[in-house]
Amino acid sequence: MVAVSEGFSHRVLPYAGAEELLAGAVPFLRRGVADGDRVMAVTCLGTEVLLRDALGGDAAGVEFVRADSWYAHPSRTMADCLGDAEDAAGGGRRLRLLGEPAWTHRDPLEVREWQRAEAMTNVAFARTGAALLCPYPVRALPAAIVAGARKTHPETVRGETALPNPGYLDPWTYNAACDTEPLPPPPPDAEELLIDVVDLYWLRMLVGDYARTALLPDDDVQRLLVAVTEVMTNAIRHGEGPIALRLWTDPGALVCEVADRGRWRAGTGFGLIPPRIGEPDDAAGPDGGGRFGLWAVRMLCALVQIRTGEAGTVVRLRLKLPLRVDGRLSTHSG
Amino acid sequence: MDETWHTKRAVSGVRPGDHALLPYGDLEERDRVMGTYVDDALTGNEKVVYVTDAPADRLPGLRPRTRARLDRYTRSRQLVVLSRADACLDARGRFAPGRLLDTLGREVGSTDAEGFRATRWTTDFSWMLDGRPLDVAAMLGCEHRLGDTVGPSAVAMAICQIDRRVCPPAQYAALRDTHEVLVEVDPRFDDGNLKIVQTFRPAGLRLEGELDHARHHVFEDELARVARLPGAVHLDLARLAFLDLGSLHLMAGLAADRTADAPLVLDDLPPGVLNIIEMVGWHRLPGLVQGRTAGFPNGGTR
């Protein structure tokens, strides 16, 4: 048994019903109110109603935030939340957050990224001293998601006690396990360009034309151009040619892939941890920007998939395409 | 951006027919422009007519090579320094536009006979604002006629200098409208994709075009140079079409080393670039400050 400690904690609260949820969540939140923490509860409306009722007067010390807007994008959510935790720590306080991830309506790729974010939370927030508690409704969720939570949270909460999770994995080990399967090959009609001498200006012209033809909104076109420039720059600086650029559309998404023959060195970080404000870029190359750049690429795209190994490196950027006016998903027509 | 409908031209690009205005923000800017204007003429077999009360060896921005050959240039009339009394004042010391235009016409007319390809005229009108009532109508009328002389000419070009610090806004606006060309310093860098121009008021750089990894080194060098200036450093980004993450990181790194009262101010951020910065988060880029937007001051100091 592990006593509730003052240091960083990231715990899963599996619950089968309201009683189990409240037994774990209410003491957690009340402790924060009593200690003067910044206390947040990110939940669905139903859970908020339950918690407010159970907390009584203590509810006034809790900021309630709706989960569907909070859990909008793994990298952006983590960056925002980490910013809150750093701000609190900077002011001599602790961020105490009850976060009920929104798992429904997510496709398998998104689920994997949220699970990856749960794992990386253990690295990103460790220095902030934040207390994070994640309720998982075991009856409503697929068993694999609940089992996954025991690998990404060091401890499980039962009532007011925390027990170590024997199946907990080192976050980087978990991250690597997420990426063991090869990416599906690009479709036969993908546009492919093999590049020996990279002209970034010309490359942006090409990608921009493709994206606009695919009806990617203007803001997202700009984000894609910044992202692909960064990934291509990394390939130029650290990869081995030739570099391949591929573009295609999947239902509902534009995909842009940069592949080269190089292999990333260990400890790259994959842009999963937000760079610390004012801290030197510890994973940067000689002229800086590596860690910041790849992290920012994740902020700009709906999804970034990376595979690196002996066969080379592939970075695949996905941006969501809007529904067309006829309700069908956009596909590239040019 | 209140000057976009004028042709903005680097001083090395000034050509016959240009009636240009140099609205300088400080003496370094004036000296840099005039040094180039004079030097380009003297090395290119063109005549310089400089109306000033300063002696020839005190002309703004004179390059060492020009200074060393000053006697030769003045003897051959390739450099003609005329006092204001001789060039454009009447017997009672008042500004006499007709006299100025006569002087200009005479000097331009002798260009070919003296063996020069062209004549470059310049004078600094700031003295007219020096505490005395300005006959705006006379001055603007003079500028119009000066433009009428220079505009159609195949051999004449003129730069009228004005110190922006002493010129009231309304008078500056009127003066500016009598010139087709605004002249500025030569860019620090221009390869067709990216142009970097030093700015003086506010101090900093103007970036035009696209900035990515291929030009990081030159950008880093130029940024480091202006970062040595005291106070806030401004980057005018109105014409920046693309900014990569590496460049943003360079800016943030430099800004982080500056004190809170000397930030790196990003003026006129294009929407696409602003969108990226907001996605990354201003709070992750300490020391970078959003300045003027769409021509309206918002914390900027122009």
**Looking at the structure, do residues B131 and B267 belong to the same domain, yes or no?**
no
State the smallest CA–CA distance between residue A289 and chain B in angstroms. Answer: 6
Dihedral (CA of A247, A249, A250, A252) sign: positive
The whole-angstrom separation of Cα B204 and Cα B1 is 16
Residues contacting residue B115 through CB under 8 Å, at least 6 positions apart: B45
Give the model confidence (pLDDT) of A57-100 as tens digits: 999 999 999 999 999 999 999 999 999 999 999 999 999 999 99
Q: What does the alpha-carbon distance between residue A102 and residue B286 come to, in Å, rounded to a whole number?
A: 32
Q: Is pLDDT of A283 > 50?
A: no
Domain end (from B150, B184, B218): B184
Tell whether B133 and B230 lie within a shared domain.
Answer: no
Chain A from 215 to 234: CB within 8 A of any B CB: 218-219, 222-223, 225-226, 229-230, 233
Q: Of A8-12, A292-296, B292-296, give the lowest mean pLDDT range.
A: B292-296
CB proximity list for B145: less than 8 A, separation 6 or greater: B97, B101
Q: Is the pLDDT confidence value at B295 over 70? A: no
B224 touches chain A (CB under 8 A): no
Within a domain: B201 = yes
If asked whether residues B59 and B164 sit together in one domain, one would say yes
Would you call B280 an interface residue with chain A, using a CB distance cutoff of 8 Å?
A: yes
**Touching check for A277 and chain B: CB below 8 Å?**
yes
- The one-letter amino acid code at A3 reads A
Same domain assignment for residues B143 and B194: no
pLDDT over 90 (residue B282): no
Cβ atoms of B162 and B175 within 8 Å: the answer is yes
pLDDT, mean of residues A229-245: 91
Alpha-carbon Rg for chain A, nearest whole angstrom, is: 21
Range of the domain at B278: 189-290
Whole-angstrom distance, CA of residue A222 vs CA of residue A204:
10
Q: Which of A281, A289, A300 sits opposite B279 (nearest CB)?
A: A300
Q: Are residues B15 and B92 in the same domain?
A: yes
Q: Which domains does chain A have, with CATH numbers?
A: 9-178 (3.40.50.300), 191-320 (3.30.565.10)
Same-domain pairing of B95 and B154? yes
Residues B66 and B95 in one domain: yes
Q: What is the distance in angstroms between the Cα of B253 and the nearest Cα belonging to chain A?
A: 8
Q: Considering only A24-38, B41-55, B81-95, which range has the smallest mean pLDDT?
A: B81-95
Residues B124 and B157 in one domain: yes
Dump pLDDT digits (tens) for B120-130.
Answer: 999 998 888 77
Q: How far apart are CA A119 and CA A122, in angstroms?
A: 6
Please report whether residue B202 resides in a domain.
Answer: yes
Contact A175, A116 (CB under 8 A): yes
From chain A, pick out residues whose CB is under 8 angstroms from the CB of B286: 277-278
**Any CB–CB contact under 8 A between B250 and chain A?**
yes
Which among A204, A274, A281 is the nearest to B242, CB-wise?
A204
Mean pLDDT, chain B, rounded, equals 89
Q: pLDDT-derived band of residue A331, with 50, 70 and 90 as boundaries?
A: low
Closest Cβ–Cβ partner in B243, B245, B279 for A293: B245
Token pair in block for residue A262: 């190089």
Residues B170 and B60 in one domain: yes
Residue B2 in any domain: the answer is: no
Asked if A85 and A121 touch (Cβ cutoff 8 Å), the reply is no
User: Edge-to-edge, what's the strand order for the sheet holding B156-163?
Assistant: B7-10, B181-184, B19-24, B156-163, B119-124, B47-51, B79-82
Kindly state whether residue B300 falls inside one of the protein's structural domains.
no
Which of B184, B203, B229 is a domain's end point? B184
Q: Residue A264 corresponds to which tokens in the numbers above?
A: 């990333």
Query: How many structural domains comprise chain B?
Result: 2
A153 touches chain B (CB under 8 A): no
Of the partner residues B214, B249, B256, the one whose CB lies closest to the CB of residue A293: B249
* pLDDT score for A266: 73
> Is A153 a residue whose pLDDT tops 90?
yes
Average pLDDT on B195-209 reads 94
Place B175 in a pLDDT band, splitting at 50, 70 and 90.
Answer: confident
pLDDT of residue A288: 42
Does residue A280 register a pLDDT over 70? no
- Kindly state the percentage of chain B with pLDDT values over 70: 94
Confidence tier at B132 by pLDDT (50, 70, 90): low
**pLDDT band at B5, cuts 50/70/90?**
low
CATH of the domain at B97: 3.40.50.300
- Highest mean pLDDT among A58-72, A257-271, B130-144 belongs to A58-72
Block residue for tokens 């980490």: A82
Q: What is the mean pLDDT of residues A107-134?
A: 94
Q: ω into residue B230 within 30 of 0, thus cis?
A: no
CA dist A247 → A192, A195, A267, A295, A321 (Å): 7, 14, 29, 22, 14
Regarding predicted confidence, which is higher, A240 or A247? A247
What's the confidence (pLDDT) of residue A290?
55
Structural domain contains residue B247: yes
B258 and B237 in a single domain? The answer is yes
Alpha-carbon distance of B197 to B184, in angstroms, equals 9
What is the predicted pLDDT for the residue at B302? 32
Strand ranges (E), A197-290:
243-250, 253-260
Nearest to A201 by CA among B247, B270, B242: B242
Q: What pLDDT is recorded for position A2?
A: 36
Q: What is the DSSP string of A22-69?
A: HHHHHHHHHHHHHHT-EEEEEE-HHHHHHHHHHHGGGGGGEEEEEHHH
Q: What pLDDT does A263 receive?
A: 87
Residues contacting residue B157 through CB under 8 Å, at least 6 positions apart: B14, B15, B16, B17, B18, B19, B20, B118, B119, B120, B121, B150
Q: Which amino acid is at A9?
A: S
Instruction: Look at residues B166, B184, B202 and tell me which one is the last residue of a structural domain.
Output: B184
Q: What are the angstrom distances between the C-alpha of A205 and each of A190, A212, A260?
A: 17, 11, 21
CATH of the domain at B213: 3.30.750.24
Residue-averaged pLDDT of chain A: 89
Low-confidence winner among A12-16, A255-259, B117-121, B125-129 (lowest mean pLDDT): B125-129
Query: Mutate which of B220, B242, B245, B269 to test chain A, going by most A C-beta atoms within 10 A?
Result: B245
Whether B284 and A275 lie within 8 Å, measured CB to CB: yes
Pair (B175, B259) in one structural domain: no
Strand B119-124 vs strand B156-163: parallel, antiparallel, or unpaired?
Answer: parallel
Could you tell me if residue B168 is inside a domain? yes
Task: Give A284's pLDDT tier (boundaries 50, 70, 90).
Answer: very low
The answer to whether the Cα torsion of A169, A172, A175, A176 is positive or negative is: negative
Q: State whether B48 and B151 are in the same domain.
A: yes
Considering only residues A119 and B299, tell me which one the structure prediction assigns the higher pLDDT. A119
- What pLDDT sits at residue A324? 65
With an 8 Å Cβ cutoff, is A84 touching chain B? no
Span B252-272, mean pLDDT? Answer: 89
Q: Compare CB distances from A230 to B216, B245, B284 and report the shortest one's residue.
A: B245
Please report whether residue B298 resides in a domain: no
Q: Is residue B297 part of a domain?
A: no
